[in-house]
A and B are shown apart, each in its own frame.
Chain A
Amino acid sequence: MNIYVILKRTFDTEEKIQITNGQIEEDGAEFIINPYDEYAIEEAIQLRDEHGGEVTLVTVGEEEAEKQLRTGLAMGADKAVLIDNEEVEDRDPYTTQALLAAYFEDKEADIILGGNIAVDGGSGQVGPRLAEKLGIVHVTSIVKIDIADGKATIERDVEGDQEIVEVSLPVLVTAQQGLNEPRYPSLPGIMKAKKKPLETLDVDDLDLDEDDVTGKTKTVDRFLPPEKQAGKVLEGEVDDQVKELVSLLKNEAKVI
């Protein structure tokens, strides 16, 4: 099977966010593979091990994302592609869609896996957008997938309910938490990953102009939410605290 994973380099979820002049401070921050994309990589490796074929990782980002691609290769993916978007000034999910669509045009993927959302931008647009552009069906938020006879049977999370759907390949799926338990790269895996092919492409290489990939939306400001003040820790006997709390919620906060 021709298996692809689209992934993104994101801030570590343990990082605090700082903003200077409307820009996110990246200095000194830890970066990781977007956690949802990690599920996608793990699933891709399992599908390859079961059905044969090859796993190709594709990311759109700046050159630093090579590190995350190497991590994915160390987990067991076979090769990787970095589509460098640094020269595109105004980017949004449309930009990523356009770059990926151009890349995938001649690829004949059987399955493309991605994360349900990225934990930074959080829009969850790129998967369904790309599938639409490639003319293939998409299934979002999957927690289980079985492939047999050119068909995928998929369990997806629909706001807590489970929906079981069947689609024919090729398909694009996005991974939800619970799909699997991503493996850690092994030491031999890390050694091998250094020699695996990693290709870098830019807008030109994909026969696109900057105009073709300029975002359709624009970020005009970024800001931090007002800091929450630590509130009132109640005192006294438990029975009294409970009474006081309910009374505060009713009369002061007015939320019940």
Chain B
Amino acid sequence: MTKKVLAVGEIRDGEFRNVSYEAVAAAKEIAAGGEVVGVLLGENVSGLAQELIQYGADRAVVVESDKLASYTPDGYAQALQAVLEQEDPDGMVLGHTSIGRDAAPKLAARLDSGLVSDATAIEVAGEEVIFTRPIYSGKAFEKKVVADGKVFVTIRPNNIAPLEKDESRSGDVSELTVDIKDIRTIIKDVVRNTASGVDLSEANVIVAGGRGLKSGDNFKILDELADVLGAAVGASRGACDAEYCDYALQIGQTGKVVTPDLYIAVGISGAIQHVAGMSNSKIIVAINKDPEAEIFNIADYGIVGDLFDVVPKLTEEFKNVVVKS
């Protein structure tokens, strides 16, 4: 049976985050030939809605409000509830991002609905939609189905491939007016920390450092490598506990769980709790002076050597290759 499914887009700094297109692809999968409606919330965002259609949505609904300029749980819940009431879909897909993680459970509770969080794959088998999601931070996986109610899901960025953009596609973009009121969260300030601007959860390439870096200052050799690759910088718990860097960078079972195409582990021993957070990366490179380090057991490519010698040379070599290609 075909389904009608909403795909909620997410905008950051005036552009769609990639996971928005992934949500459209996921919605299309779940819809099984049914209608996919892109949903966009924000202030002055209507102009972007057509892009959701170019990535596969059939049409789009936009809720414009100055009260949606920044994310608040109350604002988003009211806007999404209004869209759900108007559209009455069979399912809804959001990114498993800071916003999706915060808004989706609130909305699911409001509607007494189930929710599958952090899905990494979707298969449709007859009537049933089966989601795969990591448990124990990726040490294992489970397959889940919705037993009752709407198919609500948040998808992990970087796992479900978006459809090819088709600029010739067009569709209806309609605006829904929602009277958003009683927002209980007052946002006082936002401090941007991500220097490189590449978010860990969405990064295609991650360069991560461990205790082997020996100091916070030494992380700058990773920054230089990351710059060349357009990568995000992460760290092991050891490095965070030693205060080489902020906990926001921590990758592991406590910390972020990441699945980039390329993960370069520098001076990281490979403790099980770190490995849980990155072992599902497509390609893992390990650089460590200890040939017995656990990290080599899961690495696709390893260099045994002094990272302070290897990393700068690697940066130079990448510069040559990346610039040339």
Q: State the A residues within 8 Å of B (CB).
A: 11, 13-17, 19, 24, 35-36, 90, 92-94, 97, 119-133, 137-141, 143, 153, 157-168, 176-178, 214-225, 228, 230-234, 238-239, 241-243, 245-250, 253, 255-256
Say yes or no for B170: interface residue by CB 8 A criterion.
no
20 contacts across the A-B interface (CB closer than 8 A): A14-B272, A17-B139, A93-B117, A94-B112, A94-B115, A119-B253, A122-B117, A128-B109, A160-B200, A161-B193, A162-B193, A167-B186, A216-B147, A217-B144, A221-B142, A225-B280, A228-B279, A234-B301, A234-B302, A253-B300
Contact, CB under 8 Å: B135 / A246: no
Contact of B140 among A17, A94, A166, A255 (CB under 8 A): A17
Contact, CB under 8 Å: B273 / A14: yes
| Residue of B whose beta carbon sits closest to that of A171 | B184
Residues of B near A90 (CB, < 8 A) are 147
| Residue of B whose beta carbon sits closest to that of A140 | B102
Q: Smallest CB–CB gap between A159 and chain B, Å? A: 5
Given contacts A124-B117, A159-B97, A166-B186, contact A177 B254 (CB under 8 A): yes
Say yes or no for B166: interface residue by CB 8 A criterion.
no
Contact, CB under 8 Å: A165 / B118: no
Contact, CB under 8 Å: A124 / B303: no
Q: Smallest CB–CB gap between B256 and chain A, Å? A: 9
Say yes or no for B255: interface residue by CB 8 A criterion.
yes
Tell me which of B103, B254, B261, B310 has the highest count of chain A C-beta atoms within 10 A of its own C-beta.
Answer: B254
Q: Smallest CB–CB gap between B108 and chain A, Å? A: 7
Contact, CB under 8 Å: A234 / B300: no
Q: Smallest CB–CB gap between A126 and chain B, Å? A: 8
Q: Smallest CB–CB gap between A171 and chain B, Å? A: 9
Contact, CB under 8 Å: B144 / A120: no
| A168 to B182 alpha-carbon distance, docked (Å) | 12
Residues of B near A24 (CB, < 8 A) are 140
Contact, CB under 8 Å: A94 / B114: yes
Contact, CB under 8 Å: B147 / A242: no
Contact, CB under 8 Å: A160 / B300: no
| Residue of A whose beta carbon sits closest to that of B305 | A238
| Residue of A whose beta carbon sits closest to that of B136 | A17
Contact, CB under 8 Å: B254 / A162: no
Say yes or no for B180: interface residue by CB 8 A criterion.
no
Q: Smallest CB–CB gap between A243 and chain B, Å? A: 6
| A255 to B203 alpha-carbon distance, docked (Å) | 13
Residues of B near A97 (CB, < 8 A) are 109
Contact, CB under 8 Å: A123 / B301: no
Contact, CB under 8 Å: B113 / A216: yes
Residues of A near B140 (CB, < 8 A) are 17, 19, 24, 222-225
Say yes or no for B9: interface residue by CB 8 A criterion.
no
Interface residue ranges of B8-24 to A (CB < 8 Å): none
Contact of B136 among A120, A158, A247, A248 (CB under 8 A): A120
